[in-house]
Structure 1
Amino acid sequence: MADTSANGAQDAAAAAPQIKMNVLAQFIRDMSFENILAQKGAGGEMQPDVQVQVNLDARKRQQEHQFEVVMKLKIDSKSKGSGDQMFLMELDYGGVFHIENVLEEQIHPFLLIECPRMLFPFVRRIVADVTRDGGFPPLNLETIDFVSLYRNEIARRQAQTVKPGADTAQS
């Protein structure tokens, strides 16, 4: 006897429209790198303490099915021993995407999770090249968990809108 539930699931998956995503363009919107260590004339062996902040921004473009996603990185490196600033890098890296067949309620997480995943390998390479060319060992960024980043941002926004002790009742 055949398993009809598996066939039903396959039929439903075949009937659902396939998500289409194309990267139309990628670009550096803004970038700065400051080798503060060299400006101060300091040298020698230092163990870096690197802090990476990531922000994401997404918006719909005027063209149908087109969206722009920008990943903003701020990378701050200080010496573990003295706390002296070694370098500071800021990078805004964007991508233009053509996206079709994503449900309206799923487009926000799609833009802030899937699109940055597509951009990340290019951002990682830029950061490694710039830090190396700036006089430091290449900084190879660890993989960013965009799902966790998205969930944390949603939780933060919800915590901001619901303030403890606020009286919401109207008289």
Structure 2
Amino acid sequence: MTDTNGTSAPETPAAPPQVRMQALAQYVRDLSFENMVAQKGIGGTDVQPDIQVQVSLDGRKRQQPSQYEVIVKFKVTSKNKNGGETLFLLELEYGGLFLIEGVAEDQIHPFLLIECPRLLFPFIRRIISDVTRDGGFPALNVDNVDFLALYRAELQRRAEAQKAQTLVS
């Protein structure tokens, strides 16, 4: 490259590509809520709910260039601490379609399973809150989910499973 005086100008390193993430669509893929209190007549004054939340993630490339689908699955179970009866069961699969550009191929998997669910989570929280309230229970505001820790735990689980499989072979 030359400047206006005809001398060589120092080369500037190329800037890394700008990461672009755009949510193209969000949707409820599956939703189920079972109110066991109403169905089975569980009652009494000694109800102390114990809430358990399980989260799983799935992400995959779509046929369109730079488009990905991420599904976040929540399973929320409320049981009575006194007796163990199930009070309600909520299962939600919430999906998002994303346009993602500028992310290195070796980083797309963690990006899909960490950053995309972070974007979807406030909407998931609202749906869970609304459904539990509309289902006859106090609105459940799910605690924040650390998707990075969830991703790391899944990587560790897979590594241990692979190690166990290697030992068996």
Summarize the alignment of residues 154-169 of structure 1 with structure 2, pairs less than 5 Å apart: 154-163=155-164, 166=167
Match of 1:53 in 2: 54
Residue 116 of structure 1: how far off its partner (Å)? 0.1
Q: Say which SS state the counterpart of residue 162 (structure 1) adopts.
A: helix
Amino acid in the other structure paired with 1:22: Q
Residue 42 of structure 1: how far off its partner (Å)? 2.5
Match of 2:114 in 1: 113
Q: Could you say if the C-alpha distance between residues 84 and 165 of structure 1 is closer, same or farther in structure 2, counting changes exceeding 3 Å?
A: same
Residue 81 of structure 1: how far off its partner (Å)? 1.4
Summarize the alignment of residues 24-63 of structure 1 with structure 2, pairs less than 5 Å apart: 24-45=24-45, 46-63=47-64
TM-score with structure 1 setting the length: 0.87
Q: Say which SS state the counterpart of residue 127 (structure 1) adopts.
A: helix
Match of 1:102 in 2: 103
Summarize the alignment of residues 1-171 of structure 1 with structure 2, pairs less than 5 Å apart: 15-45=15-45, 46-163=47-164, 166=167
Residue 44 of structure 1: how far off its partner (Å)? 4.1
Alpha-carbon distance in structure 2 between the residues aligned to 1:154 and 1:71: 17
Q: Which runs of 5+ in 2 are unaligned?
A: 1-11
Amino acid in the other structure paired with 2:131: V
Alpha-carbon distance in structure 1 between the residues aligned to 2:101 and 2:51: 38
TM-score with structure 2 setting the length: 0.88
Amino acid in the other structure paired with 1:157: R
Alpha-carbon distance in structure 2 between the residues aligned to 1:163 and 1:94: 33
Give every structure 1 segment of 4 or more consecutive aligned residues whose post-TM-superposition deviation is greater than 6 Å. Answer: none
Deviates more, 1:150-159 or 1:35-44: 35-44
Alpha-carbon distance in structure 1 between the residues aligned to 2:22 and 2:133: 31
Deviation string, structure 1 residues 44-84 (Cα, Å, up to 9, x no partner): 44221011110100000000000000001111100111211
Q: Say which SS state the counterpart of residue 122 (structure 2) adopts.
A: helix
Alpha-carbon distance in structure 1 between the residues aligned to 2:126 and 2:86: 23
Residue 18 of structure 1: how far off its partner (Å)? 1.1
Q: Say which SS state the counterpart of residue 166 (structure 1) adopts.
A: helix
Deviation string, structure 1 residues 120-143 (Cα, Å, up to 9, x no partner): 000000000000000000000000
- Among all aligned residue pairs of Structure 1 and Structure 2, give the percentage whose two residues are the same amino acid: 59
Q: Which runs of 5+ in 1 are unaligned?
A: 1-10
Match of 1:5 in 2: none
Deviation string, structure 1 residues 104-161 (Cα, Å, up to 9, x no partner): 1100000000000000000000000000000000000000000000000000000011
Alpha-carbon distance in structure 1 between the residues aligned to 2:132 and 2:26: 20
Residue 17 of structure 1: how far off its partner (Å)? 1.4
